[in-house]
Structure 1
C-alpha cells in the first residue's frame, strides 16, 4: 500500500512536468548560413591566345612635391625605403614660414582694430545724421570707410590662413603605404613649389600596361585571363586578368589595356619588361565563358541548366538559368547565356542550395 502511494505521487509529478513542458514556446529556428566555394567567371569559352609586350607598373603611384618653395632641412628616407601612410619624408626650413605666420597675425590684429574703429565711427555718424547734425555725404564716407576696413580684415585673415597652410605643408608625408621609387632631393637645397622630389609606388598590387591593336581589342573583355611572364624574375608566370580597356586608340592604332597581376612573386618592380599572353574571344559564333561542370544544376522544362550566382549586395545566391554552346574543356563547359565576366557562382554543393539562400564565400 505504501509503495502504491509512492508510484501514484511519482506519476503525478511526471504529468505536471510534461504539462509544463507543453506550455513552453518552441525554440526559434536559426537559419544556417552556408559557405560556398566561389568560382569567378573570367575565362572565355574558346578563343585565340596572343602575346603582347608590356611594362610592369604599380597599381598606385604618386609624384610628391612641396606646396611652397623653400630650403630643404631634412630628408628622412632613401630610394627603395618602404614607407607607411602619413610618414614624414622630408621637411623644409620652417623659420620663413613661422615669420610669415607672425606677420600675418599682426596684420589681422591691426585690421581688427581698424574695423572696430570704423564700426564705432559709422554708428556715431549714423546717429548724427538721424538728428540732422551732419550731411548725407559725411555718412556715406563713414560707410565707405567701414566697408574698406571690413575688406581689409577679410584679406588679412585669408593671408593668415595661407601662411598657416604653408607652415603645415612644410612637412611632406607619404599619401599611402608603399616604396620610395625615386628621390630627387638633398638636404640644404632650394626647391621650387611643385617640383617633384619623390615618387611613391604601392608595393602590394602590380599591373601590366599593354598596347593592343585596335583591330582585336573588341575581342577582349573585362575579367579575361592573362598570363604574365617577366624574363628577369624567375617563377613569373603570373596569373592576371584584364581590369581596364581604353576607349580610344593612340600611336600605331593601339589601345591601352591594363591587366592586374593577381599573385605576383617577390622581385617584381615597376618598369620591368613583361610578356603577356592574352585570350581573345572568337569572332565567329557566340561568346561565352567556361564554367565548372559541377556548378551546373540539372535542366528542367524551363532551361537547359542553372547556376547559383552570388549576389554580393544581399549576401544570397540567385538560381540563374544558363545556356551552353556544347563546348567542353576538361571539367569546364562553355556557357553563352546567363553569366558575365566578373560573376561569382557556387562551384560545389549546388544540390544543397536554393534560390535566395543566404551564403558566404569560403575564405572571407
Structure 2
C-alpha cells in the first residue's frame, strides 16, 4: 500500500469515528482543542556567507528629562518601567514661589500701564501747549521722551510676566512622547536645580539591536543593509531590521559597534534582551532562498515541491503555502520559493495541520 493510500484510509476511519461520536452525543461534534505548534522563524539565508552576532536590544529613541527651573519636588507620579503617553504629567515642583512671581510681575505690569496712560495724557497736554507757542520745545521733547520710556518699560514688564507664567507652567514635567520610563533618579521633597536629570524615557516601539563586529569585516557592512533577528527568550520574535549606524572607531577588543533598527518588533520586547543577529555580508552573491528544517515541510506530488504552514498572528491560524526547494545542509532544506524572512512556520507535526486551522505558538495563549 502506498503512503498516499494509507493516509486516505486513515482519514476515512477518523471521519467515521467522529460521526459515530456525534450520534452518541445528540448530534453535536465538540470543538477540537487549539493545537500548539513549535515555531520556526524564517531568517537564515540559504546561500552566501551569513554571520551570526550576539546583540542586545536598546531603545533607539532615549531622552533624559529634567525641569528647566529649580525648586522643591512636590510629587512624582511614575516609576521605572511605567508606560507613559505624550503630554502625561510625570512630576511637579512646589508652585507657590512661582505663583508669587506671577502675581508680582502682573502688579508691575499694571503699574506700567498706569504710568504709560499718565505719560500719554501729559504728552498730549505738552503738545497742545507747544503748538500754541506757550512752552519751549525742550519741554515737549522731555514729555515725548518720558512717553517712549514708559512704552519700553511696559514691554519689559509684559515680557517679565510672560517669563513668570512660563516658569509656573514648567513646574509640571510632562512626557515628550509615548514611551517607557527606563530610569528614575529623584524622590519627592528633594531640592533640585534646573537641568538635574529626573527620568530617562525610551520612545515607544523604537528599538534597535547593538552588536560588536570585528574590525576586519566591518567594511563589508553597509547602511540600510537588511538583517534577520530572533531570540529564544521572546515568543514571536522572528524580526527583520536594517543597519542604521556603523561605528568608525574600534574598541579595545578591535570591535566596532554596529546598530540595527528593528522593524515592527513584538510588544513584549524590551531593552536589555539578548538577540541573535544574522547578517549576509555585502559581497555575498547568489543568495538563493532560506533554510527551513526538514520537519517543517510536507511532501507534495511535484518534484522539488512541498508545502509548509505559515502562522498568521492576526487571525491566530495557519495558512498552507506551497514551496519549492532543494537539498540543503544539516537536516535543513533550501527553500527558494514560498517563504520570506520573518515568516513563522510550523516546525513539527505538519501532517496534523490543515489550511485555516486555529493554532497557538508553544507557551502562548490562543487568540
TM over 0.5: yes
Match of 1:242 in 2: 242
- Please give the per-residue CA displacement for 1:228-279, whole angstroms capped at 9, x wherever unaligned: 447xx35586422115134x61344876543223454566432445442222
Specify which of 227, 251, 269 is matched with residue 225 of structure 1: 227
Match of 1:331 in 2: 336
Shift of 1:194: 1.4
- Please give the per-residue CA displacement for 1:6-53, whole angstroms capped at 9, x wherever unaligned: xxxxxxxxxxxxxxxxxxxxxxxxxxxxxxxxxxxx999954222344
Q: How many residues align?
A: 250
Shift of 1:100: 0.8
Q: CA distance change for structure 1 residues 267 and 237 in 2, over 3 Å: closer, same or farther?
A: closer
The 3-state SS of whatever aligns with 2:168 is: helix
Does the 8 Å CA contact 1:44/1:224 hold for their aligned counterparts? no
Shift of 1:105: 0.4
Instruction: Name the TM-score, length of structure 2 as normaliser.
Output: 0.59
Superposition pairs of residues 171-210 of structure 1, within 5 angstroms: 171-210=172-211
* Runs of 4+ that moved beyond 6 A: 42-45, 287-292
Superposition pairs of residues 337-356 of structure 1, within 5 angstroms: none
Moved more, 205-214 or 81-90: 205-214
Does the 8 Å CA contact 1:217/1:255 hold for their aligned counterparts? no
Does the 8 Å CA contact 1:45/1:281 hold for their aligned counterparts? no
How many angstroms apart in 1 are the aligned matches of 2:151 and 2:289?
72
Match of 1:117 in 2: 118
Q: CA distance change for structure 1 residues 70 and 219 in 2, over 3 Å: closer, same or farther?
A: closer
How many angstroms apart in 1 are the aligned matches of 2:223 and 2:181?
34
Shift of 1:112: 0.7
- Please give the per-residue CA displacement for 1:133-182, whole angstroms capped at 9, x wherever unaligned: 22222222222212211111111111111111111121112222222211
- Please give the per-residue CA displacement for 1:48-93, whole angstroms capped at 9, x wherever unaligned: 2223444311243222111211111111122222222222211111
Does the 8 Å CA contact 1:101/1:163 hold for their aligned counterparts? yes
Unaligned runs of 5+ in 2: 1-42, 291-333, 339-367
Shift of 1:214: 8.0
- Residues 1:144 and 2:149 are matched in the alignment: no
Does the 8 Å CA contact 1:43/1:289 hold for their aligned counterparts? no
How many angstroms apart in 2 are the aligned matches of 1:92 and 1:57?
31
How many angstroms apart in 1 are the aligned matches of 2:98 and 2:288?
63
The 3-state SS of whatever aligns with 2:90 is: strand
Q: CA distance change for structure 1 residues 65 and 290 in 2, over 3 Å: closer, same or farther?
A: farther
How many angstroms apart in 1 are the aligned matches of 2:267 and 2:107?
56
